Structure 1
């Protein structure tokens, strides 16, 4: 059940990141996938930077959103090159 919630929160965060990063998104489905990957990426990166948002679904959403925004920015830079 936790995995399903994780995937749903990651997908929602990816969609929102695509909305925020206008022009760098790749469509709804790909942005959702980036959100799920961003949840893993943010969960790995943010604690190493000393940034934490607490536990629970809200903390996971914020972490996934930040991770997805970072990934969309990186992918956008690579795509332009």
Structure 2
């Protein structure tokens, strides 16, 4: 009876090790498939079509001002 428990213990330990390896490979595969089929296309489409700062299509807001004089007297009066 004792040898049967030893055999089952060894079998269970090897099964657990093999299951852990298979689960690791399966998880990496699922993560890779998800990344390539969902995240990459979403990232490409959002980069092409989204405008998170809402700056596309708006007119510029530059202020018109008088030109700055370039002579030395104006530079001395500046400050």
Fold conserved (TM > 0.5)?
no
Higher helix fraction (1 or 2): 1
- Tell me the TM-score normalised to structure 2 length: 0.32
Structure possessing the higher radius of gyration over alpha carbons:
2
Return the structure number with greater relative CO, CA threshold 8 A, min gap 6: 1
